Chain A
Amino acid sequence: NAGVTQTPKFRVLKTGQSMTLLCAQDMNHEYMYWYRQDPGMGLRLIHYSVGEGTTAKGEVPDGYNVSRLKKQNFLLGLESAAPSQTSVYFCASSKPTSGVDEQFFGPGTRLTVL
């Protein structure tokens, strides 16, 4: 099993450009998450999904959109990138066992917005 994979690994954008980050998991997990990691701030939840076709806002959703058209995929979109969105983005997934199960993380996408 590949676990959780993320595409791309690195990306540089100019302010105002758009892009989509792809997350895929092969563990048949119901729950999927997008986080951003910034120095000294830990991980902050952007959006999450509790099942195919459903998404919800997390702690820092502004400037991002998501879609979960297939159970195994969770897409994060930036419609108009801003320098404040320079960060490392992590996708994670977990089973829906009332939160007792650990989350499995992808390797991350390092995004720089100039």
Chain B
Amino acid sequence: AQSVAQPEDQVNVAEGNPLTVKCTYSVSGNPYLFWYVQYPNRGLQFLLKYITGDNLVKGSYGFEAEFNKSQTSFHLKKPSALVSDSALYFCAVRDLTTDSWGKLQFGAGTQVVVTP
């Protein structure tokens, strides 16, 4: 079975400082990993994904994520946070070994609060 853990319910960071949102996963095969962002009263928006290749993935709005197979992690990062980055962030994983369609397992979400 696949699972995702986001160990922090909330991350607080000052504007201009680096932002990191942590995600660890568990799958039986090779993982497909995704990050989504949810702004208040909105649906989820895709940020980036790791399928294969370079472990550092760049995505929308200046975000990037690093895939670490040995630590089974896929942490989301942004070098300089903006107040507008305040939102709920979800990590999600697929294990292609166990199924052949698009089922995602989502983490519980991490609330990011960026203060001016």
Does A75 belong to the interface (CB within 8 Å)? no
Interface residues of B in 3-24 (CB under 8 A from A): 4, 9
Given contacts A4-B43, A90-B43, A108-B42, contact A96 B106 (CB under 8 A): no
| Size range of the chain B interface in the assembly | 20 to 34
Interface size grouping (class) on chain A: 20 to 34
A18 CA / B99 CA spacing, docked (Å): 33
Chain A residues with CB under 8 A of B36: 105
Point out which of B34, B90, B99, B101 has the most chain A C-beta atoms below 10 A from its C-beta: B101
Q: B103's contact among A40, A42, A48, by CB below 8 Å, is which?
A: A48
**What's the minimum C-beta distance from A6 to chain B, rounded to whole angstroms?**
8
A38 to chain B minimum Cβ distance, whole angstroms, is 10
* Closest A residue to B49 using CB positions: A102
Asked if A82 is at the interface of the complex by the 8 Å CB criterion, the answer is no
Bound form: Cα–Cα A102–B106 in Å: 13
Chain A residues lying within 8 Å of B100, measured Cβ to Cβ, are 98-99
> A102 to B34, Cβ gap below 8 A?
yes
A62 at the A/B interface (Cβ < 8 Å)? no
Q: Are B32 and A105 in contact (CB under 8 A)?
A: no
Write the nearest CB–CB distance from A68 to chain B, whole angstroms: 14
| Contact string against A for B residues 86-105, beta-carbon threshold 8 Å, 1 for contact and 0 otherwise | 00001000101001111110
- Least CB distance from B24 to A in Å reads 14
Q: Chain A contacts of B49 at CB under 8 A? A: 100, 102
B contact residues around A40 at 8 Å (CB): 9, 108-109
Best-buried of A92, A100, A104, A106 by chain B (most CB within 10 Å): A100
**B68 contacts chain A at the CB level, 8 A cutoff:** no
Q: Is B56 an interface residue (CB 8 A)?
A: no
Q: Is there a chain B Cβ closer than 8 Å to A77's Cβ?
A: no
Q: Are A90 and B44 CB-contacts (below 8 A) given A42-B90, A100-B49, A102-B49? A: yes
Residue ranges of B at the interface with A (Cβ–Cβ < 8 Å): 4, 9, 32, 34, 36, 41-46, 49, 51, 90, 94, 96, 99-104, 106-109
Chain A residues engaging chain B, CB cutoff 8 angstroms: 4, 31, 33, 40-45, 48, 50, 58, 90, 92, 94, 96, 98-108
